[in-house]
Amino acid sequence: MDELVTEVRAFNRFYTRVIGVLGARMHDTPYSLTEARVLFELRAHEEMETGELRRLLGLDAGYLSRMLARFESGGLVTRARSAADARRQVLRLSPCGHEVWRTLDAASASDVRNLLTSLAGEDRRRLTSSMAAIRRVLGDGDGGGPCVIRPPRPGDLGWIVHRHGVVYAEEYGWDETFEAMTARIVADYVQHHDPKREACWIAEVDGEPAGSIMCVREDDRTARLRVLLVEPSARGMGLGGRLVEECLAFARRAGYARIVLMTVDALAAARRIYQRAGFTLDEQHDERSYGADVTVQSWSRDLSDPEPRAQRL
């Protein structure tokens, strides 16, 4: 944990230097970062109560009061009693305050544009997607970008093998034999692929792979669901359910009557997805696999019924 703390603090120091917030003033103006943020929130909300603004930004009441007094004396904000509660004050930007906000906003956008212009296209995508991932992981409700389910692109099949190896080692302690098994699944898919009866999908969030699934031929009547994975940073977005539904819809169109899958009982989140999609447990047994003692489970679903049984109970 200490190494992670050091890494996060190093990133904070680096990024604050890159975006130039260490100085007392922003963009060659008389305003600090905190003052610029207050102006931004007032512009975004049109009007706010003082207490609401303080809670949103986590500011000390006395500090905010002094700042607002300077803004008012400088003609940037106006204050009025709240119509709902005369004890509360409502803040609004004045025309002068709007002009100051536009100056700060244009300067900030210019700085970021200059930063991005110096990067290659791929690096820009990596930068912005990583920033969105940080926001999601740290709980920013607005941090989720567009989510799409798409066919694999060059490099995605290797990503499936890599991420299965990493995620299952980190979360369950499985060894390299699991990664090797995933590699064989992917290799068999490529070598024997029948596009009419087999397909693979990648879930993409903010331009980055965040999940995977395959539908492969078991026999003429039966399909097999394989390599379902959702990145830890993308969980809670419903991607697992969307991937499974995509797989089921394809299996029906391909003419399969039944679909099967293999999992282990430790994968509780995946099991809940399968149950919601109408799969039922057929058989399970204990064995030693992937360097661990696991309970292997076989699940199946009849594809003639489009309504998941679990949802109709």
Q: What is the tens place of the pLDDT at every residue in 129-139?
A: 777 777 767 76
pLDDT of residue 108: 81
Q: What's the pLDDT tens digit per position in 74-100?
A: 898 988 877 666 677 788 889 998 898
- Sign of the dihedral through C-alpha 61, 66, 70, 73: positive
Phi-psi region for residue 2, left (φ > 0), alpha (ψ -120 to 50) or beta?
alpha
**Torsion of Cα atoms, 187 then 192 then 196 then 198, to 10°:** -40
**Is 90 exceeded by the pLDDT of residue 289?**
yes
- In total, the chain counts a number of residues equal to 313
- Look over the chain and give the mean of its residue pLDDT values, rounded to a whole number: 86
Domain 2-118: top CATH class? mainly alpha
Which of 4-18, 39-53, 83-97, 186-200 tops mean pLDDT? 186-200
**Is 60 exceeded by the pLDDT of residue 4?**
yes
pLDDT of residue 221: 96
The correct CATH number of 147-312 out of 3.30.300.30, 1.10.1040.10, 3.40.630.30, 3.40.30.10 is 3.40.630.30
User: What letter represents residue 141's amino acid?
Assistant: G
Q: Residue 248 class from Cβ within 10 Å (0-12 exposed, 13-18 middle, 19+ buried)?
A: buried
Residue ranges covered by each domain of the chain: 2-118, 147-312
**CA–CA separation, 120 and 118 (whole Å):** 7
Q: Is the pTM of the predicted complex or chain greater than 0.75?
A: no
